[in-house]
Every structure is written in structure tokens, then in C-alpha cells.
Amino acid sequence: MTGRFSGRRALVTGSSRGIGAAVALRLAAEGATVAITARTLDQHPTLPGSLHEVAHRIEAVGGQAPTVIVADISDPADRARIVPEAEEGLGGPVDILVNNAAAAMYLPLVDYPLKRRHLTFEINVHAPVDLMQQVLPPMLARGEGWIVNLSSATARPAADPSNTPARIATMAVYGSSKAALNRLTNGFAIELTGSGVRVNTVEPRAAVLSEGAAAVASDVITPELTESMEEMVEAAVALCDCPPELSGRVTVSLDLINELGLTVMALDGTAPASPA
């Protein structure tokens, strides 16, 4: 266990599995005290992974996850208690917020249901903004803080729609929500310039085959289109410890790793990750 994040309190959403779970594990392994939140406490009906499992993994590497918050981030009233409960369990205000929770529903646009459009933007846009607004006052008072929002390459429109597979159109609502999150992240960073609070997004350059991604897109995600979980996490945690001059950027995992000259570490942070 390293001490890179010793003394810092972190909150990671969507941390019962996938990228969120891996980021929480890495932050804790490097000394942060971590609050984890998601809907699945013990068992999901179809996907592996739970908050209890992640908490046990964190404890196994010598980390601390004293706060496990079961919440539905799509519900404004339910998510309103996440930051207060995290602060209570962590023993102080949040230093690092990682907005990882997301909804991805890939459907044809010609009859994409309004209810699902609302849900996508509620989870992928409004929830991160609400949580950012809640953690900011103590960050601004201290003159320091890190906010990392997880984005997606689907935020960028296809350069040649007439020569693009039709399945790409089914990602448009999800991609639009991530484009909104990118723009809001940049707006927060502009507004907070000089405050010491860093706000960034990071997206995978290639797909990360998390449990959720495997469930919705395993038929189109082939090995050559993927990057490792360790690579994605390396980029995310770099932004959890970045200097103020990096604030406001929409970054890409592998590009950021190359730019900063980072060594991709295992999720426990103690040794370089094994080659894929």
C-alpha cells in the first residue's frame, strides 16, 4: 500500500462494479479513505459485483472504505443524501469526487422512449452536477479539491454519417449526455479558475470490458477494440492528483498516460500492471 492519497477523503459513484469499483480500490490502496455508492449492496439480479464485495477488496489491500451508501442516483431526493452521508462516514468533507455512475441504453432513435431519455440525462448529467455542487463549498473553503467525471468517446459525432454503421446511432442519446457532461465540466473549470479545485473528464480511448459493457455490447467489442481496466484507472487516478493547470480538460485515457509519462500500475498500486 502506498501513501499517495493519504489523508484525502474520496467519494466514488457507481462503485459496485466496473471502472468505479476499480478506481475506488486504487484510491484506497494508495491511502485515501473512500466512500462507495451504488444501488447494489449484496447482489445484482443479472450482473456480478456489489458494494460489499468492493469494500472487502479494499480491506484486503489494507485500504479503508468505512462508508457504503446504497442509493439510487437517478432519484434527486435519494442522491441528495449521498454527500452528507459520505462526509459523516469519512469524518470530513470530500477531497476527491469521481462521478462514474452512468446509464447507457442503446436503442434506435426513431422511437427512443422519452422516459429513457429523461433517465439517461438524469443519471449522466444532472446527478454529477448535483454532486459537484454539493462537494464544492468545502473544497472552495480549503482551496483544494479534485473532481473527475467519467465520459465517453460516443460524445463525439460521426464524421461521415452516411458511412457509419447503424448501430452507432443507437448510442446517440448516451453520447449526447456525455457531451453535455464534458461541456459542463469545462464550464465548472472556467468558473473555478484560481480556486485550487480541479475539474476534468476522462474517457477510454478504447472500450473497457467492464461487467456493464460486457452485458450491453459484448457482441461488438472485440479484443483489438479494448484497453485494460488498469489503463483506464491509471488515467482516472492521475486526474485525482493533478495540478491546477490541468483543470478543465476532456482527456482520453491512453493519451493522458502517454502525455504524462505514467507507468500503468496494478489496481493495488504496488507494481506495474501485467501486460495484456
Q: How far apart are CA 102 and CA 228, in angstroms?
A: 19
**3-state SS of the chain: helix, strand, coil percent to 5?**
45, 15, 35
Q: How far apart are CA 264 and CA 49, in angstroms?
A: 24
- Cα separations (Å) of 40 from 23, 58, 188? 17, 17, 30
Picking from 235, 198, 250, the residue whose alpha carbon sits closest to that of residue 23 is 235
Cell readout for 129 is 452536477
CB atoms within 10 A of CB 225: 11
E-strand spans in 171-252? 197-203, 207-208, 226-227, 250-252
Q: How far, rounded to the nearest angstrom, does the alpha carbon of residue 216 sit from its chain's CA centroid?
A: 18
Q: Name the residues annotated as catalytic.
A: 174
Q: Which residues pair with 34 in a beta bridge?
A: 10
